[in-house]
């Protein structure tokens, strides 16, 4: 290799190389040359939600030509991880969708903007104050609920009817549920429902049906190992009887409808949230129906209205006013409500809610009807889960894996779960 | 995955790099001692060293900003409690103590990783060696087969291949159907705690092409007259393999063994894809790196995850040291006889 002729030439080469590197690191500036404001908006969900959301975003951009919104989405599990990493690097997108389980963490760590600063742009007058409270932490409003959802049983109504079982009614008990499963199993010859033991959400419904809670006011676990052991013993009995899915099928669930036994057409019923159950439509079409979840034996309902998702603004956003403008459009305008329907649950804005509920069709109509049928019958939602609860859903699923593969007894696994939960929730 | 993984990836380079970086430094800094002084009109040595640093600067910058700095931060974080949201708080050695005294899953993940290394590495090396020997004696088409067997090594580490692997070993996948066809009903391997680890190990074994190519090169270095002499003495194929091929190949075998062992300790992608990121079913594919990732990114215990990364680094260094030690008794270098 010939030696470089002059020092300046090699210095220039290095400078060039450095420039290239630095250029790669640049970017991220949010106001582009033409004076347009660029906002980043990120959420989790499936492609159907993405289609609707992007359509609403386009409508907003048309109405506000000086604002450009870059969107991105992923599945819930990877969304959580990515957002947490972005929060650590102070690179949170301007507009973020949060779960009820995340709000304490994000608001408590100054990642979110106090929306009171944007009160003029962002109207909340039409929203139910009880629901608004779900986006508050320490008295300040950090996010707004985007919709109201509730738990449900999604099922194939043709298969259900063929077995000669009545459709599930509001107020049916867990014992009614087991009886129905037996009949469907007899008719089908294989298991009827996905094993609910792995999902903390279902355990919560069962627990609330007995008048208990997941978390107490102090932010600590409010149930005992005996409670959890009883739930897992109950589901294990069903599993051994062949009424619900075996361990090898249950273990494949990973947060998307396509991976669940019902999504893979192995079972014909599954617990899920109401709006996300739309994902089964691709496999079941018109046969898909949803029903309320079972109640406690004395009729105490376990399910509740939950803010299905919250929408907030990053504390680091350079354009909080434009971001607030977008939220206002997304939650309050006729146009957005028409496009979004009940994809993220029924609208929180009272005016839009009554408009949308009377207009929706197809599966969305079932969601609307389910929620209307339970109006005034459900108990108040629990307070937002405490910080540290974030990873416990996966712990729950993992510990139940140990039960369903019969590596641990329900009691042992329940003790394991509580030990980890207490460590995570340590103040 | 920045902090957590750099420590472990760095360990792999740590064992292979010193040779290369030393020669690079020789060449750049004091590299041309004779020639420089004889010629006149060349800048003095100090100035040439400056030029060397200028040329090295992209690498030095990259290594320090992208590797050394994150490693240092990760070392610091390993002594803290850090959840990504709040500033890290110093807790001394608690992460390290907790790891060995009150975390049964961490010990399970160590067990899984060791089991995996013990299954995957010998199988892979045996397959690589066997194929290399077979290829060497091939007269036609050797180049084609060499490329064909090497291809998986280029593809194998990717997420997409791992996902395909998952589909092949799932319920109703190819393997399930083939086995059912001959009356073996296991179902999907990836959903059985007893079989999932084997499915992941097979994905690694399938990538035997890289060590195979190295074996093939090693085989061609063995002098042919040795085999001829052995033939004259009436040695059979097997005898020649044991008495000539293996000893002559032992340095290459050792190289492959060290490299594959280090890589296997750090296996992540296949287990992540096959178990949907949870190390399931029932923790049977919960490898060390997967657990590290879960602690860091799902449970938000970055301090703990960093501590785990450093323990992995030390563990791999120790295992490598032990391998080097044992190598004295079984690795034969051809020039030893001259000494």
Complete DSSP assignment for A319-341? -HHHHHHHHHHHHH-HHHHHHHT
* Residues of A in Cβ contact (< 8 Å) with B55: 10, 14
What pLDDT is recorded for position A40? Answer: 94
**Taking CA atoms, what residue in B is nearest to A110?**
B85
Helix (H, G, I), strand (E, B) or coil at A372: helix
Parallel, antiparallel or unpaired: strands A269-273 and A37-44:
unpaired
ipTM of the complex: 0.80
Helix (H, G, I), strand (E, B) or coil at A244: strand
Give the pLDDT mean for A224-253: 92
Is B280–A398 a contact, with Cβ atoms under 8 angstroms apart? yes
pLDDT tens profile A322-377: 999 999 999 999 889 888 888 888 888 888 888 888 888 888 888 888 988 888 88
For chain B, how many residues are written? 339
User: To probe the interface with A, which of B299, B302, B304, B305 has the most A CB atoms within 10 Å?
Assistant: B299
Three state DSSP letters for B160-182 = HHHHHHHHHCCCCCHHHHHHHHC
Could you tell me the two tokens for B215? 């074996």
Contact A10, A4 (CB under 8 A): yes
Ramachandran category for residue A4: left, alpha or beta (phi over 0 → left; psi -120 to 50 → alpha): beta
What pLDDT is recorded for position B109? Answer: 93
Give the pLDDT mean for A260-280: 88
Give the pLDDT mean for A16-26: 44
Is B86–A88 a contact, with Cβ atoms under 8 angstroms apart? no
Contact A277, A154 (CB under 8 A): yes
Q: Which residues pair with A345 in a beta bridge?
A: A343
**Taking CA atoms, what residue in A is nearest to B194?**
A405
Nearest CA among A401, A338, A154, A394 for reference residue A263: A154
Q: How far is A246 from chain B (nearest CA, A)?
A: 11
Could you tell me the two tokens for A340? 């979004």
Is B280–A248 a contact, with Cβ atoms under 8 angstroms apart? no
What pLDDT is recorded for position A427? Answer: 61
What pLDDT is recorded for position B127? Answer: 94
Record the pTM: 0.80
| Cα dist from A30 to A152, A404, B142, whole Å | 41, 50, 56
What pLDDT is recorded for position A151? Answer: 92
Nearest CB neighbour to B298, from listed A14, A391, A402: A391
What pLDDT is recorded for position B183? Answer: 77
Q: Which residues pair with A72 in a beta bridge?
A: A42
Interchain CB contacts (distance < 8 Å): A and B: 84
- Chain B residue set in contact with A, beta carbons under 8 Å: 47, 51, 54-55, 57-58, 61, 84-86, 171, 187-188, 191-193, 276-278, 280-283, 294, 297-300, 302
DSSP string, B194-225: TTHHHHHHHHHHHTTHHHHHHHHHHHHHS-HH
pLDDT at A408 over 60: yes
pLDDT tens profile B17-62: 444 444 444 444 444 444 444 555 666 777 778 888 899 999 999 9
Nearest CB neighbour to B300, from listed A14, A249, A391: A391
What residues contact B60, with CB distance under 8 A and at least 6 apart?
Answer: B53
CA separation for the pair A124, A348 (Å, rounded): 10
| Cα dist from A18 to A26, A222, A379, whole Å | 12, 57, 62
The phi, psi pair for B207, rounded to 5°, reads -90, 45
On average, the pLDDT of chain A sits at 85
Contact B290, B280 (CB under 8 A): no
* Residues of B in Cβ contact (< 8 Å) with A259: 276
Residue A16's pLDDT band, with cuts at 50, 70 and 90, is: very low
What pLDDT is recorded for position A45? Answer: 85
Is B187–A397 a contact, with Cβ atoms under 8 angstroms apart? no
Neighbours of B221 (CB within 10 A): 11
List the pLDDT tens digit at each of the 339 positions of chain B: 344 444 444 444 444 444 444 444 444 444 444 444 455 566 677 777 888 889 999 999 999 999 999 999 999 999 999 988 888 999 999 999 999 998 888 999 999 999 999 999 999 999 999 999 999 888 888 889 888 888 888 876 778 888 888 888 888 788 888 888 887 777 788 888 888 899 889 888 988 989 999 999 999 888 889 899 999 998 888 898 988 899 999 999 999 999 999 999 998 888 888 887 788 788 899 999 999 998 988 888 899 999 999 999 999 999 999 999 999 888 887 665 544
Q: How far is B15 from chain A (nearest CA, A)?
A: 28
Burial A55-78 (b: 16+ CB within 10 A, else e): ebbebbeeeeeebbbebebbebbe
Domain-wise residue ranges, chain B: 101-334
Share of chain A above pLDDT 90, in %: 40
- Chain A residue set in contact with B, beta carbons under 8 Å: 4, 7, 10-11, 14, 17-18, 21, 77, 80-81, 84-85, 87-88, 105-106, 108-109, 111, 247-249, 251-252, 254, 259, 390-391, 394, 397-398, 401-402, 405, 407, 424
CATH of B101-334, one of 1.10.3720.10, 3.40.50.1000, 3.40.980.10, 3.40.50.150: 1.10.3720.10
**Taking CA atoms, what residue in B is nearest to A253?**
B276
pLDDT tens profile A95-153: 999 988 888 888 888 899 999 888 888 888 888 888 888 888 888 899 999 988 899 99
Q: How far is B19 from chain A (nearest CA, A)?
A: 22
Give the pLDDT mean for A274-279: 85
pLDDT at A162 over 80: yes
pLDDT at A52 over 70: yes
pLDDT at A10 over 90: no
CA separation for the pair B78, B312 (Å, rounded): 12
| Residue, of A41 and A20, whose pLDDT is higher | A41
Contact A364, A341 (CB under 8 A): yes
Nearest CB neighbour to A81, from listed B54, B282, B297: B297
Is A251–B277 a contact, with Cβ atoms under 8 angstroms apart? no
What pLDDT is recorded for position A312? Answer: 94
């Amino acid at each position: 290799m010939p030696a470089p002729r002059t020092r300046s030439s090699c210095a220039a080469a290095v400078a060039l190389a450095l420039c290239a590197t630095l250029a790669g690191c640049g970017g991220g500036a949010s106001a582009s040359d033409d004076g347009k404001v660029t906002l980043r908006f990120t959420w989790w969900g499936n492609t159907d939600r993405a289609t609707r959301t992007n359509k609403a975003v386009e409508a907003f951009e048309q109405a506000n030509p000086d604002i450009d919104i870059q969107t991105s989405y992923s599945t819930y599990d990877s969304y959580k991880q990515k957002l947490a990493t972005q929060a650590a690097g102070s690179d949170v997108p301007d507009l973020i969708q949060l779960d009820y389980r995340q709000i304490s963490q994000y608001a408590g760590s100054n990642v979110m903007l106090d929306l009171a600063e944007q009160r003029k742009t962002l109207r909340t007058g039409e929203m139910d104050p009880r629901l608004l409270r779900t986006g508050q932490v320490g008295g300040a409003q950090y996010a707004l609920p985007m919709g109201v959802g509730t738990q449900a049983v999604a099922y194939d109504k043709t298969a259900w009817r063929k077995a000669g079982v009545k459709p599930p009614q509001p107020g049916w008990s867990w014992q009614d549920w087991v009886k129905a499963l037996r009949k469907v199993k007899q008719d089908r010859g294989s298991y009827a429902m996905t094993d609910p033991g792995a999902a903390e959400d279902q355990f919560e419904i069962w627990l609330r049906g007995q008048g208990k809670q997941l978390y107490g006011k102090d932010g600590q676990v409010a149930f005992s190992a005996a409670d959890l052991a009883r739930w897992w013993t109950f589901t294990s009995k069903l599993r051994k009887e062949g009424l619900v899915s075996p361990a090898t099928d249950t273990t494949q669930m990973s947060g998307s409808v396509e991976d669940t036994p019902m999504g893979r057409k192995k079972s014909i019923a599954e617990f899920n949230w109401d709006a996300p159950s739309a994902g089964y439509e691709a496999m079941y079409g018109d046969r898909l129906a949803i029903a309320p979840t079972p109640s406690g034996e004395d009729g105490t309902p376990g399910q509740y209205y939950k803010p299905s998702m919250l929408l907030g603004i990053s504390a680091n956003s350079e354009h909080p006013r434009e971001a607030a403008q977008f939220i206002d459009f997304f939650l309050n305008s006729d146009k957005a409500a028409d496009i979004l329907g009940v994809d993220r649950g029924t609208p929180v804005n009272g005016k839009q809610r009554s408009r949308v509920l009377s207009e929706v069709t197809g599966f969305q109509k079932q969601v609307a009807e389910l929620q209307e049928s339970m109006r005034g019958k459900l108990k108040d939602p629990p307070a937002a889960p405490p910080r540290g609860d974030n990873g416990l859903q996966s712990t729950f699923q993992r510990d139940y894996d140990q039960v369903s593969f019969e590596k641990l007894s329900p009691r042992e696994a329940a003790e394991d779960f509580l030990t980890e939960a207490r460590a995570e929730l340590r103040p | 995955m920045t902090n957590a993984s750099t420590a472990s990836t760095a360990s792999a380079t740590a064992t292979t790099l010193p040779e290369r970086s030393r020669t690079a430094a020789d060449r750049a800094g004091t590299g041309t001692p004779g020639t420089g002084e004889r010629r006149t009109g060349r800048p003095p040595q100090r100035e040439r060293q400056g030029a060397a640093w200028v040329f090295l600067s992209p690498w030095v910058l990259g290594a320090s900003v992208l590797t050394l700095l994150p490693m240092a931060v990760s070392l610091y974080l390993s002594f803290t409690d850090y959840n990504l949201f709040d500033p890290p708080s110093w807790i001394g050695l608690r992460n390290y103590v907790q790891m060995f005294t009150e975390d049964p899953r961490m010990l399970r993940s160590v067990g899984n990783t060791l089991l995996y290394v013990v299954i995957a590495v010998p199988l892979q090396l045996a397959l690589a060696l066997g194929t290399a020997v077979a290829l060497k004696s091939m007269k036609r088409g050797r180049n084609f087969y060499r490329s064909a067997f090497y291809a998986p090594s280029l593809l194998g580490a990717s997420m997409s291949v791992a996902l395909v692997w998952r589909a092949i070993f799932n319920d109703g996948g190819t393997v399930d159907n083939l086995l059912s066809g001959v009356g073996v009903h296991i179902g999907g391997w990836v959903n059985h705690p007893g079989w999932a680890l084997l499915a992941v190990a097979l994905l690694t074994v399938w990538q035997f092409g890289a060590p195979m190519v190295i074996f093939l090169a090693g085989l061609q270095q063995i002098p042919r007259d040795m085999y001829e002499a052995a033939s004259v003495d009436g040695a059979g194929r097997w005898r020649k393999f044991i008495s000539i091929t293996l000893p002559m190949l032992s340095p290459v075998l050792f190289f492959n063994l060290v490299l594959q062992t280090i890589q296997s300790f750090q296996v992540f992608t296949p287990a992540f894809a096959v178990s949907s990121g949870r190390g399931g079913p029932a923790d049977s594919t919960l490898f060390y790196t997967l657990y590290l990732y879960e602690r860091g990114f799902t449970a938000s215990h970055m301090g703990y995850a960093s501590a785990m990364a450093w323990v992995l680094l030390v563990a791999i260094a120790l295992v490598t040291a032990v391998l080097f030690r044992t190598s004295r008794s079984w690795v034969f270098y051809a020039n030893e006889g001259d000494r």
